[in-house]
Amino acid sequence: MKIYIYKGFERFWHWTQVLLMIILALTGFEIHSSYSLFGFENAVKLHGVAAWAYLILIVFVLFWHFTTGEWRQYKPTLKLLKAQVDYYITGIFRGAEHPTRKLIYNKFNPLQRLIYLGLNILVIPVMGVTGFAFMYLNYPNTTFELSSLDIVALIHTIGAFSVVTFIIAHVYLTTTGHTPLSAITAMLTGWEKVDPNDARAMVVNEMEVVLKASESHLKTDDHKKELLDEALEETEKFLGMKREEKFQNVIAKSGAGYFRINKLGYYGAVNDAWIRLYKYDSADEIIGKHYSLSRTKEDFGELEKTFNRVLQGETIPHGEVKRVCKDGSLGFHTVTMTPVVMNGEVVGVEGFILDTTVRRLAEKELMENKILMEELLKKKEG
């Protein structure tokens, strides 16, 4: 089974870094007089150009890591670290299972986390600082100059050996995946061949994370609180339309689907996102229809319970649910339902759904896998 694990930027970044590291190592050790390859002058120039290119790359990579939150991948953990080390020392020979699973939101095993973190916050910055010191701080009459390059050279050389050692070990360890080439293939295509169990764990994990992300997205925007306050406490002060507008604005901003169902269970309003998620062509197709058609028969009971509780005045974040789209296909989203109150009386239910599958292009592919998974599981069960 294949899953999409490395996004385009990650792959671009990784292979550019590979190229730059190789150039830097080859030219660096030539400048170190370990051999001649490009010619000293060319080596110096190339080393400098590669260093600058690397710096530019790092700026983009940092930006990417912090805007996507991917930096969390490097948070060190001691949990399972020993298990991971043991696996490499003994387990791998016995054909034991990997102690950790590769997941989209937890791509690195504890050992990788530690090594990559060390590389990212220690080796690469130190190489950068000493490297630029080498280039720019060794001449007199500058604002800051080193009395000698001794220490800089020492550190830079230690770093160089560390990086080359890392490359050897890293390249080898890529062969310890599901198949020897699966990791490298994944870094080339984005798609990694994984064990079906891994894939299943991954789907579950991905959902959890998306759910958390959706919640925190609302939380951090302070919109959820605002939303609920308005829905529960300030209902009487506003006209339904006005409140609705505000509510819908918030929903529109969050990219979520919005729906309103009357007391009897018929759709009163849906927004474009909702229509898209349910694969309808227009609102007309759904307005006035009963909400039971949004669920499979098995799931409807649960939804009905929730619906009835909301009619009693509760606001319920329902969590992950499975929807039935117009064409009968299945999708996943989180749903939060809140009562519609008019003149002190509950007249219906409104809520928003956050799709947990179609957040990005990559996850669209994942969606198909999920569906496939569901079907497979179903078959298995059946």
Partner 1 sequence: MKQSVIIVLLFFMIQSLAFSQKAENNKTQATRLLIENYTFKADRKTSVPVDHSKFDILKQDFARPQDVTLACLSCHTERHSELMVNNHFTWDRKEKILNHGLISVGKKNILNNFCIGVESNEVMCSKCHAGYGWVDTTFNFQAKENIDCLVCHDKTGTYKKGMGGMPTPQTNLNLVAQNVGLSSSQNCGACHFVGGGGNNVKHGDMEKAMLHADRNLDVHMAKEGEDMNCTECHVTENHNITGKLYALSSENNDRVSCEQCHTDTPHKNKILNNHTDRVACQTCHIPTYAKANPTKLWWDWSTAGKLDKNGKVFEIKDSIGDVVYFSKKGNFKWGRNVIPEYRWFNGLAGHHLVTDKIDTIPVQLNTLDGSYADKGAQTKSLAPSKIWPVKIMRGKQPYDTEYNTLLQPKVVGPKGSGAFWADFDWAKSLEKGTEYIHEPFSGKFGFVETEMYWPLNHQVAPADQALKCTDCHARGDESRLSELDGFYMPGRDHYEWLDYLGIILLVSTFAGVLIHGGLRIFFRKNVSH
Question: Which residues here bind partner 1, judged by CB under 8 A?
Answer: 7-9, 12, 16, 31-34, 36, 40-41, 44-45, 48-49, 52-53, 56-57, 60, 64, 88, 92-95, 134, 139-141, 145, 147-150, 152-154, 157-158, 160-161, 164-165, 168-169, 172, 175-176, 361
- Shortest spacing between CB 110 and partner 1, in angstroms: 19
Q: Amino acid identity of 253?
A: K
User: Quick check: helix, strand or coil at residue 37?
Assistant: coil
CB 359, min distance to partner 1, A: 13
Compare residues 159 and 257 and give the one whose CB is closer to partner 1: 159
Q: What angle do CA 188, 369, 73 make, to 5 degrees?
A: 55
CA 240, 243, 247: angle at the middle one, nearest 5?
130
Minimum distance between the CB of residue 107 and partner 1, rounded to whole angstroms? 17
Q: Is residue 160 within 8 Å of residue 128, measured between CB atoms?
A: no
249, 271 contact by CB (below 8 A): no
Q: Locate tokens 């169990």: which residue?
A: 197
- Residue the block writes with tokens 């260093």: 51
Amino acid at the residue 169: A
Least Å distance, CB 318 to partner 1, is: 31
Which contacts (CB < 8 Å, 24+ apart) does range 285-293 have? 285/326, 290/265, 290/266, 291/261, 291/265, 291/266, 291/267, 292/265, 293/324
| C-beta closer to partner 1: residue 154 or 293 | 154
Q: Which two tokens stand for residue 43?
A: 């080596």
Write down the least CB distance from residue 381 to partner 1, Å: 31
Q: Which CB atom, from 137 or from 346, has the smaller least distance to partner 1?
A: 137
- Which residue type does 250 have? V
Nearer to partner 1, 45 or 75 (CB): 45
Which tokens go with 53? Answer: 């290119």
CB of 88 to partner 1, least distance (A): 8
The residue (of 29 and 266) whose beta carbon lies closer to partner 1 is 29
By C-alpha distance, which of 303, 267, 263 is closest to 286? Answer: 267
- How far apart are alpha carbons 134 and 113 in whole angstroms? 30
Least separation in angstroms between residue 10's CB and partner 1 is 10
Q: Which is nearer to partner 1, 144 or 344 (CB)?
A: 144
Whole-number minimum distance, CB 131 to partner 1, in Å? 11
- Which runs of E-coded beta strand occur in 48-194? 191-193
E strands present in 64-185 = none
Cα separation, 260 vs 269, in Å, equals: 5
Q: Using the Cα atoms of residue 227, residue 229, residue 233 and residue 234 in order, give the sign of their dihedral.
A: negative
Whose Cβ is closer to partner 1: residue 154's or residue 287's? 154
Least CB distance to partner 1 at residue 157 (A): 6
Count of helices and strands (H, E) across the chain: 14, 7
Q: CB-wise, 56 or 287, nearer to partner 1?
A: 56
Considering the complex, state which of residue 71 and residue 88 has its C-beta at the smaller distance from partner 1: 88
